[in-house]
Homo-oligomer: A and B are copies of this chain.
Amino acid sequence: MTDALGRIFNATSIAVIGASNDPSKRGNQAIRKLRADGYAGAIHPIHPEADEIMGLPAHASVLDVKGDIDLALVCTPARTLPAILAQCGQKGIPGAVVLAAGFSEIGAKGAGIAAATLAAAREHGVRLIGPNTNGIFNLHNRMNLVGVQDVEPGAIGICSQSGNIMLGLVTEARRRGGVGFSSYVGVGNQLDVNLAEYLRHFGEDDDTGVPLFYVEGFQDGRAFLDTCREVTQKKPVVIYKSGRTEAGQVAASSHTGSLASGFALTRALLRQAGATVVDQSDKMLSVAEGLSKMPVPAGGRVAILADGGGHATVTVDALVDAGVELAQLSEATTARLRGLLPAAASCVNPVDVAGGTDGDPSVAADCAAAILADEGVDILMIVGMYGGFAARFNPALLDNEIDTSHRLAGLARRHGKPLLVQSVYAALRTRPIETLKEAGVAVFIWPEPAVRCIRELIDYARARRRNATCAPVLPDGPAAASRDILGPVRAEGRAAFYEHEAKALLGAYGARVREEFLARSEDDLARVAARLGDGPVAMKIVSRDILHKSDAGGVRLKVAGEAAMRAAYAGILASARAHDRNADLHGVLVAPMARSGVEVIVGVVHDPMFGPVMMFGLGGIFVEVLKDVSFRALPMSRADAHEMVSEIRAARILDGLRGAPPVDREALVDLMMTVARLALAHPEIAEIDLNPVILRADGYDIADARMILGPQGR
């Protein structure tokens, strides 16, 4: 099917259905624009009566056209679509761009037309872009069906759920200069082709260096993630996802469920799939431009070459804020720089030329050559006023400065290292600046947007390596003991597992679960006490009717000795009865008290958009107040799990505070991967919530575990 999109975007022959001699009509404007831009393919106006439109022979139907047609631009109203698509199919046209509104967005009547239209498209094998789109363009094919003026061809491919956002990107690019676009598609209602398919197309399109997506909502989030993971192995994908205010969509009967929704989840999953997520629309273009112009760096160590003043200081601030590492120059590099620069220069990172380039800008390229050759440098930023030496000091320097721009671009290419230039003269678009841009160097007015690009580039490089080398882990199938454990839950029509059942299932998949006992009468306690000894135990009610055990008075902690256990047993039952006198009380779970450690939560929910998702966070207040949690789609790799653990804000707690030893991260990751396998093997389990898991230097205890069957699993 993607071949269809390839043919559509690279159409050599276009039928304009609803072509018109009226210049206010889209069917006229499109033809005018195609001809004005020098579109080299054939244009076939389709009109029920006219013999000729805008000097081109017109036909009543695409079926009357001789020769192949790659694309139909349909400018006629919604109700005409089913018949038109049938004709397109008979003609073998692979795709139609449908401008008309009046489909599902207008209610029941429109929904009927939409259904008929989709059915026709599917039946006749025509891919449908839109409807309710403002069109597409492919500037490398001189095919602009949107009519936006003065757009430069370039490497960024736009896929947008808003035509105005594309317009904003295009006007910003015109003002910046040196950045252009390959193709655009306004996805409209996505009646047929969806975002994942567009992404795959942009991934395969050689003219597109960076697909840039503006997304308001995913129809099939999982397919998008899968495609994104593949495409980002070839090129960066930049996404702005709108909708910070979307209400939680997951029915929340667990802690994980109540937290796992919204933008933080979407962002985490897109990043897991290798995407670059920008959270401010005004960063979309500069990040996409930066990524399109720079090679993927081997590491993240940044060197700064400054010609004095505040910009070096600001750049260091911005790098520190972004958590980017400053490169340490080798002694050899420092020595080479000393040979090039005046005595007052700083020849360590950040390098400050101290006026050493004012009289001869080419010295900047000499310095850049020395720095780029340093194996300890992955990325070079030139900051200050490069590009303005001729303008500021001496017009006679202009040729020198233009030559230097060429040299700088060549050096970056030769070393295969990203080079970024920040210059106060970027706003004035001086010739040395424009030379840099034409040679493919990203140029910025202020340091922060450049640093943002560096941060995203480093993250992209890391994600690409991670996804290339660490495969998501899939289960072999349900564990042997699963049926025995699930059986009673299903047989009794329960949604919630008893805690000991949940733990048993975890154990069946290899999690470390400690010995615990279900006491169904006070007399059972003698046996339990004999087994557990006098150490303190935790006792918890087991009841299908009591989900929140503490709230029902159904929990006693640090109970020591048989007598105390008996008293606690009676107390728990009494409290539970008082809480709900009709509750079915199954017994009391007795387990040794967990040793103290760091409390964390490991959970899984099924997101309606993205499918199974794991959440990790510190327990208690961190989750409740700070929402300091991380997410990954399942299946995931061990590397994903390690990143989940590292990326929470309070991760330092896991390394041990106040002399405490670090927790056993490998054991934690083992547990997370176990839970992931369990969740994938049992899609019928809608929610898993291990809360808390208590982490220690020598392992973990699962202090409480909850699992809930989804409606289809009961």
- Which chain B residues border A309 with CB–CB below 8 Å? 162-165
**Which residue in chain B gives the minimum CB-CB distance to A314?**
B281
- Which chain B residues border A162 with CB–CB below 8 Å? 309-311, 313
A282–B453 Cα gap in the complex (Å)? 14
| A687 smallest CB distance to B (angstroms) | 21
| A108 smallest CB distance to B (angstroms) | 16
- CB-based contact A160/B310 at 8 Å: yes
**Which residue in chain B gives the minimum CB-CB distance to A618?**
B621
- CB-based contact A244/B317 at 8 Å: yes
| A579 smallest CB distance to B (angstroms) | 15
- CB-based contact B171/A424 at 8 Å: yes
Q: Interface with B: A49-57, A371-379, A442-450, A531-539, which one?
A: A442-450
| A663 smallest CB distance to B (angstroms) | 14
**Which residue in chain B gives the minimum CB-CB distance to A429?**
B175
A426–B172 Cα gap in the complex (Å)? 9
- Which chain B residues border A445 with CB–CB below 8 Å? 168, 171-172, 175, 282
- Which chain B residues border A174 with CB–CB below 8 Å? 427-428
Q: Which residues 404-443 of A have a CB within 8 angstroms of B?
A: 424-428
**Which residue in chain B gives the minimum CB-CB distance to A654?**
B625
In addition to A161-B310, A167-B424, A625-B652, 9 A-B residue pairs with Cβ atoms within 8 Å of each other are: A164-B384, A171-B426, A174-B427, A216-B313, A240-B314, A244-B320, A245-B317, A245-B320, A281-B318
- Which chain B residues border A311 with CB–CB below 8 Å? 162, 164-165, 168
A243 within 8 A of B: yes
- Contacts A243-B317, A321-B244, A446-B168: A621 and B657 contacting too (C-beta < 8 A)? yes
- Which chain B residues border A427 with CB–CB below 8 Å? 168, 171-172, 174-175
A88–B168 Cα gap in the complex (Å)? 56
Number of identical monomers bound together in the oligomeric complex = 2
Q: Which residues 307-341 of A have a CB within 8 angstroms of B?
A: 308-311, 313-314, 316-318, 320-321
A168–B314 Cα gap in the complex (Å)? 12
A600 within 8 A of B: no
**Which residue in chain B gives the minimum CB-CB distance to A309?**
B164
- Which chain B residues border A652 with CB–CB below 8 Å? 625
The 30 sampled A-B contact pairs (Cβ below 8 Å) are A160-B310, A161-B310, A162-B313, A165-B309, A165-B310, A165-B311, A165-B314, A167-B385, A168-B446, A171-B425, A172-B427, A175-B175, A175-B428, A175-B445, A214-B310, A242-B313, A243-B317, A244-B317, A244-B320, A245-B317, A280-B318, A280-B448, A281-B446, A281-B447, A281-B448, A282-B445, A625-B652, A625-B653, A626-B649, A626-B650
A624 within 8 A of B: yes
A193–B141 Cα gap in the complex (Å)? 62
Q: Which single member of B240, B316, B424 contacts A245 (CB below 8 Å)? A: B316
- Which chain B residues border A424 with CB–CB below 8 Å? 164, 167-168, 171
Across the A-B interface, the 7 shortest Cβ-Cβ residue pairs = A162-B310, A164-B309, A282-B446, A171-B427, A168-B424, A175-B427, A165-B310
- Which chain B residues border A385 with CB–CB below 8 Å? 164, 167
| A288 smallest CB distance to B (angstroms) | 14
A589–B190 Cα gap in the complex (Å)? 74
- CB-based contact A624/B175 at 8 Å: no
- Which chain B residues border A243 with CB–CB below 8 Å? 313, 317
| A447 smallest CB distance to B (angstroms) | 6
- Contacts A309-B163, A385-B164: A624 and B657 contacting too (C-beta < 8 A)? yes
A244–B322 Cα gap in the complex (Å)? 11
- Which chain B residues border A168 with CB–CB below 8 Å? 311, 424, 427, 445-446
- Which of A164, A167, A316, A658 has the largest number of chain B CB atoms within 10 A? A164
**Which residue in chain B gives the minimum CB-CB distance to A306?**
B164
**Which residue in chain B gives the minimum CB-CB distance to A171?**
B427
- CB-based contact B448/A282 at 8 Å: yes
- Which of A280, A310, A425 has the largest number of chain B CB atoms within 10 A? A310
- CB-based contact B428/A171 at 8 Å: yes
- Which of A160, A240, A625 has the largest number of chain B CB atoms within 10 A? A625
- CB-based contact A242/B653 at 8 Å: no
Q: Which residues 203-219 of A have a CB within 8 angstroms of B?
A: 214, 216
A15–B316 Cα gap in the complex (Å)? 40
A643-668 CB mask vs B (1 if < 8 Å, else 0) is 00000011011000110000000000
- Which chain B residues border A625 with CB–CB below 8 Å? 650, 652-653, 657
A448–B424 Cα gap in the complex (Å)? 23
- Which chain B residues border A161 with CB–CB below 8 Å? 310
A448–B625 Cα gap in the complex (Å)? 26
A490–B425 Cα gap in the complex (Å)? 61
